[in-house]
Amino acid sequence: MADFTATPLKGVWEIVPKRFGDARGFFSESYNAKGFADHGIDMVFVQDNHSLSSTPGTVRGLHFQAPPHAQDKLVRCGKGRIFDVAVDVRKGSPTWGQWHGVELSFENGKQLLVPAGFLHGFMTLEPDSEIIYKCTDFYAPECDGAVRWNDPDIGIAWPDLGPDVGDAVLSAKDEAAPFLKEFDSPFTWEPTA
């Protein structure tokens, strides 16, 4: 059982699985295909990924995987806290270039469903934050791409982690990613989607 909340970006969902606790801790069903289908979400996940970011202020993104290996992602935080973001890059979409962000943490148990056609990225808010996510297609390096995480045309309000954190920690790939205005999106909005 989980609570599903639609976001302003059609197809992006915030999901909070119920936790059942006692003196030992808790149990939670982190994914249930029937529960997703009951909300009109019909996806088959084929790969689970798990990453660790040691330093607060680490940014991974804004990433996508292009067709024919586009991925829907179901993201959660297994340890620590992250600020997780989806950005609509479907050509012709009424929400093109708009973003939605949410804090995911071990404590709040929230998940973010990021469908194909959206960029995905996150910033770690605590040391040693672990991100666990399911994907609907296998990793295909030839389809891998990114857009600049701090693009002013997107205007993501990334959390301010204070003077002790300093600059964002980025990979060379993410630091050199193109801006949205230079990006020829491989995704097209379909009004029925």
Q: Which of 63, 69, 100, 120 is catalytic?
A: 63
Question: What would the DSSP string read from start to end of 1-57?
Answer: -EEEEE-SSTT-EEEEE-EEEETTEEEE----HHHHHTTT------EEEEEEE-STT
Mark whether 133 is an active-site residue.
yes
**Beta carbons within 10 angstroms of residue 31's beta carbon:** 16
Look up residue 137 and give its two tokens.
């297609």
How far, in Å, CA of 150 to CA of 156, rounded?
Answer: 7
Mark whether 63 is an active-site residue.
yes
Query: Pairing between strand 118-124 and 111-114?
Result: unpaired
Known catalytic residues are 63, 133
